[in-house]
Structure 1
Amino acid sequence: MKKIITSLVAAAIFVAATPFNVSQIALADSASSKSKTALLTDQQEEFLDVAAVQAEKSAKKYGVYPSVMLAQAIVESNWGQSELAVNANNLFGMKANDTWTGDKYAKKTREEDANGNSYYITADFRKYATFNDSFNDNGTKLRHGISTDPLFYQKTWIENAPTFHDVTKALTGTYATAHDYYQTLDKRIVDYDLTKYDPQISNAKITYYVKKNGPTYQWPTDHTETDKASTVTSKQKVTVTKTITYYNATQRMYISGQGWINGSCLTKKQPKVSRKLQHNARVYNKKGKVISKKKLKKGTKVNTESNLTKISGKKFYKIGKNKYVKKTAFVK
């Protein structure tokens, strides 16, 4: 993987970060953003093509923003040509703390104190076997925090951060000591249109029905990264208040008061329920008029919609297109 990274970015040129007004770009529409997209060198374009694929996968697994992951990789690794990237597959400047059990790579690095003054130390950094491992470790750090505080980076989680800018601000002073870290990341995100790799997020309130019994989860991550939150039952009516749609069209949805679930577990189509008639029953249309002299026989099992419909103040179950039977006709 070292050779791959080196070949992709050997001639890439690092662009130093400069302060700018993030509010001006955070609200820019896609057309405006596209017109301002910076030109990429061939090496930068190749690096981004490879990095974006893994960023989308890792960001989906850990529930973070791909655009921020990519901006960090660009800044921290100088488009993959930094000493750490080439020799340790470390794209995010991840240090090897006491909990790290893998290989290490020692390197001199610049730090910044509370007053913005620079100083240098020699530190151990994490050395990865592959390019992809670096992305996954970055996702692990953001989602699971540090040993003393698992929620240390919770403001960077996709369910908690309305925009990429909220994430970059949360990383400043926590992930990196540089006081202008968020400006550096924001500029890369805007200059290179990195938000195009982010999932679509909707806060629309929508009614769904559960396809089968199963658990919900605390986070919109892969299930291997989160604890269970609750359970839902087949045909249960639920309200979804947030939907995240990813690059591969899969979705994670938040069920109000119950937790996150894969979109494939829900349906908008109202499920059918088999109900038994306790006496002969007439069939009505949506205006409450009898549509057939022939009655449904007592004991017949009829598939109805799960919810009741009111017609002229009375309760009916819908059994087909413009066909309804009174609730009182069915066994309780």
Structure 2
Amino acid sequence: MKKRLLTSIAAAVMLTSTTLPVANNVAPHSHKVSAATMEQNAFLSKTAKQAEKAAKKYGVYPSVMIAQAIIESGWGQSGLAVNSNNLFGMKADDSWPGESYLARTREEKDGKSYYINARFRKYNSLKESFEDNGKKLREGVSWQPLRYQGAWLENANTYAEATKALTGTYATDSKYDVALNSRITSHNLNQYDPVISKTTKYYTVEKSGSVYNWPTDHSVAKAVGSVKSGEKVTVTKTITFHDGSSRMYIEGKGWINGTSLTKGKTTTSEPSTQAPKGATKVEKNLMHNAYVYDAKGKKIKGKMYKISDEAGSKLIATYGTKTIKKKPYYRVGENEYIAAGNIDGTLRFLKHNAYVYNQYGNRDNTLKHKKNEQVATYGSAVKINGKKYYRIGIRQYIKKSNFM
């Protein structure tokens, strides 16, 4: 993306019959945002619904998109916005199949500014402009598809986290998030945002169907697995939109529309355990969902310890250990045990260098384990976006295929 250095207001002042506005500019951060004028209210009434639709389709924050449009287009008053419905300063490269609009724009290299004439995308409507920006935020750029992943609804729990993720990626201005946040708070733009809940809930699948890698429209996302009618699932994140619809993340599987699940039905609950008499209590950090077994190694129906990927772990009371069928278990109650591997982990050797992924299958390029390194894994492998992973830490996973 280009440098955002001049203000949209300044760009409007520079307009002449032959000089076109600078696109993609961020207003100076000392600029005080005043109460909305009639023109600004008119702009919001035209764009809010379009932003909501595009944001829901691509799984991003409407408030962030509107704030971007405000800054980039000077409340829709820039020549680029007026003449080509381009609210985001989107350039027209060789891959753009539509019409284009020539504009004079300011660039920066090695700290020095210069001007060029550039082609920008021309849209038939503001709706198309929001659609294109939503697509850009989700799909990134050709050389870096995950460039804006920090701004996605599944990764950013607030609009502030999203704007921070766009700083230095969408815009080079180190205070781009400050500029966006000031517009969002001053004009209450977060009223258009969905509600995100990280409360763990248990459901029954009402109708069979696919699960997806993203909480977007299915036309945008990729099917990575499926669930069957009657299957018991754990939901660790719910995104509820203004129209009442929702998308839910099924732990270890993927995203699904809320209508596919039976609301309010809990499949399992936290075990109600009774401390063994005279036993010493020791709290242990549970790192993986754990079934509860009796002293003969038989699974106790309806009892299971659950942890969400958001919480990452859970402290539980244990009362010593026991070997059952040659495998170690922790005692958690009278005649109740859980496999020790869910707490202590199992050491495994890596046969390849391996990256670390989060609970959504997104890779952390800063974390990498080396070939032949011994890594503790917790519990059995889980499926994320159709692939099997071992959990190695709080919200940290390595592909099962990397282990010996």
When the two structures are superposed, what TM-score results if normalisation uses the length of structure 2? Answer: 0.58
1:176 Cα offset (Å)? 2.3
Is it true that 1:233 corresponds to 2:236 in the alignment?
Answer: no
- Cα pair distance change 1:232/1:249, threshold 3 Å: same
Moved over 3 A (4+): 12-17, 112-115, 268-271, 307-310
In structure 1, the residue matched to 2:29 is 18
- Cα displacement (A) at 1:308: 5.9
Matched to 1:91, the amino acid is: L
Q: Distance in 2 between matches of 1:252 and 1:52?
A: 21
In structure 1, give the amino acid aligned to 2:104: K
Indicate the RMSD between aligned Cα atoms, in angstroms. Answer: 2.7
Shift in Å at residue 16 of structure 1? 4.2
1:77 aligns with 2:66: no
* CA offset digits 1:195-246 (Å, max 9, x no partner): 1111000000000110011100000000000100110000111000000000
* Structure 2, unaligned runs of 5 or more: 1-11, 14-24, 267-299, 304-333, 335-404
Structure-1 separation of matches of 2:33 and 2:206: 43
Say if 2:189 is the partner of 1:194.
yes
Structure ID, larger Rg: 1
Amino acid at match of 2:179: T
TM-superposed deviation, 1:44: 0.6
Match of 2:50 among 48, 54, 63: 54
Change (3 A) 1:114 1:241: farther
| Higher strand proportion | 2
Higher relative contact order (CA 8 A, sep 6+): 1
Matches of 1:190 and 1:267 in 2, distance apart? Answer: 36
The alpha-carbon deviation at position 253 of structure 1 amounts to 0.3
Letter in 2 for 1:175: Y
Of 209, 212, 222, 1:214 maps to: 209
- Residues 167-176 or 224-233, more deviating: 167-176
1:216 touches 1:259 (CA, 8 Å); kept in 2?
yes
1:166 maps to 161
Q: Which amino acid aligns with 1:218?
A: N
Instruction: Give the TM-score normalised by structure 1.
Output: 0.70
SS at structure 2 position matched to 1:86: helix
Q: Is the Cα contact below 8 Å between 2:204 and 2:231 reproduced in 1?
A: yes
CA distance in 1, matches of 2:109, 2:196: 37
Deviation at 1:185, TM superposition (A): 1.1
State the shift of 1:17 in Å: 3.4
What is the match of residue 132 of structure 1? 127
CA deviation map 1:66-108 (0-9, x unaligned): 0100000101111111011000000001111221111111111
Secondary structure in 2 aligned to 1:45? helix
Corresponding pairs, count: 250
Distance change >3 Å, CA 78–CA 107, structure 1 → 2: same
Alignment partner, residue 170 of structure 2:
175
> Would the alpha carbon gap of residues 141 and 15 (structure 1) be closer, same or farther in structure 2, given more than 3 Å must change?
closer
Aligned to 2:263: 268
Correspondence for 1:250: 245
